Amino acid sequence: MPEDVDNVEKESSPGPFWSGTISFGLVSIPVSLFPANRSSRVHARALGPDGAPLGRRYYSSKTDRELSPRQMVRGYEIEKDRYVLVTDEELDRLAPEKSRDIDLRQFVDVNQIPPLYFERGYFLAPEGDSTKAYLLLAAILEKTRHAGIATFVMRGKEYLIAITAEKGILRAETMRFRDELRSPGDIGLPEKRKAPAERTRRFIQIIQKHAFPELSQNELRDETSAEVLKLVHEKQERKQDVVVSVEEKERGGEAAPDLVAILKQSLAGRTGQRPKHSWARTGRAARKPHRLQTHVPKRARH
């Protein structure tokens, strides 16, 4: 999905980022599309020695010169180091026709759609006076265990989706196109073979021993992100390793920190050594598990 969709999902109370009409036969149901998930991953910003966030820039790999957006063109690689250039105007002419319709083309049994095709989940909410038709479609899809296969256009791009229903709510799962999937043969997976009876029996016993009637919610918790946030909050309360960027200093905030010195002091505190010796190696067995790269290149390379 487009980057702006991801940005919407980070909001605590996201609004709809697309609205249109589900259409099939003579039926039209106005709906809005909402993200069904939000990101809980902990993202750390890359900072320079002065505490300022680092930005990305494009540069020429030949001249090492930074380029502005106006100097960049699009090219599709047809073979190594050979490209066919295309313009924005050419791509605009090939873009799908703008439409606000979710065009349901067929209905299939949900179990007939391999899970690999599903990409991301969304909720569909009724708009205007469409509640009765919305609830009727949701009830029928849920009862028959069918999914409506549809296409719709957003931000100039066409998406393939499967519309299903659960507990009276319509859901939309964006789907990958067929040529986006690899087959087992593409990655060298072995062919199916019949396993020995004794080994099969042991595997069944192990699985049954650890089988549960339903999935535990504890298994769905992001333990790593929770531990990282706990560490951040603890250091914030202790006012340890808290830095202020140059921009904050210019707005009248605290003085910009010497980030390198703070890191060295923090590491020295862990090892019991003075800061000037915290980076030293003391032999082949010496390790530097906490060493951080503090050199910042003039431009980030891609």
Residues 42 and 51 sit within 8 Å (Cβ to Cβ): no
Q: Is the per-residue pLDDT at 292 higher than 90?
A: no
Query: What is each CA distance from 18 to 122, 152, 180, in whole angstroms?
Result: 11, 10, 25
CA distance 141 to 163: 9
Rama region for 128: left / alpha / beta (φ>0; ψ in -120 to 50; rest)? left
**What's the pLDDT band for 253 if we cut at 50, 70, 90?**
low
Domain segments of the chain: what residues? 3-41+95-180, 226-276
Residues 234 and 241 sit within 8 Å (Cβ to Cβ): no
Residues 161 and 176 sit within 8 Å (Cβ to Cβ): no
- Residues forming a β-bridge with 221: none
Express as a percent the part of the chain with pLDDT over 90: 24
Express as a percent the part of the chain with pLDDT over 70: 75
For 3-41+95-180, the fitting CATH number among 2.40.290.10, 1.10.10.10, 2.30.40.10, 3.40.1010.10 is 2.40.290.10
Residues 187 and 116 sit within 8 Å (Cβ to Cβ): no
Query: What is each CA distance from 267 to 42, 261, 273, in whole angstroms?
Result: 23, 10, 9
Helix (H, G, I), strand (E, B) or coil at 224: helix
3-state secondary structure 81-98: CEEEEECHHHHHHHCCCC
What is the phi/psi pair of residue 256, to 5°?
A: -65, 140
- The stretch 128-156 carries a mean pLDDT of 90
**What's the pLDDT band for 295 if we cut at 50, 70, 90?**
very low
- The stretch 14-37 carries a mean pLDDT of 86
Nearest to 106 by CA among 20, 21, 24: 24
In this structure, of 17-21, 51-55, 85-89, 96-100, the range with the lowest mean pLDDT score is 96-100
Helix (H) or strand (E) holding 30: strand 27-35
Other CB atoms closer than 10 Å to residue 224's CB: what's the count? 10
CA distance 30 to 124: 10
Quickly list DSSP for 97-162: PP--EEEEEEEEEGGGS-GGGEEEEEEEEE-TT-HHHHHHHHHHHHHHTEEEEEEEEETTEEEEEE
**What's the pLDDT band for 243 if we cut at 50, 70, 90?**
confident
- The stretch 279-294 carries a mean pLDDT of 36
Handedness of CA 128, 133, 137, 139 (dihedral sign): positive
Question: When comparing pLDDT for 258 and 37, which is higher?
Answer: 37
pLDDT score at 299: 41
Helix (H) or strand (E) holding 228: helix 223-237
pTM of the complete model beyond 0.75:
no
Rama region for 57: left / alpha / beta (φ>0; ψ in -120 to 50; rest)? beta
- What is the per-residue pLDDT across 70-113, written as a single tens digit (0 to 9) for each? 888 888 898 888 889 888 888 777 777 777 888 888 999 999 99
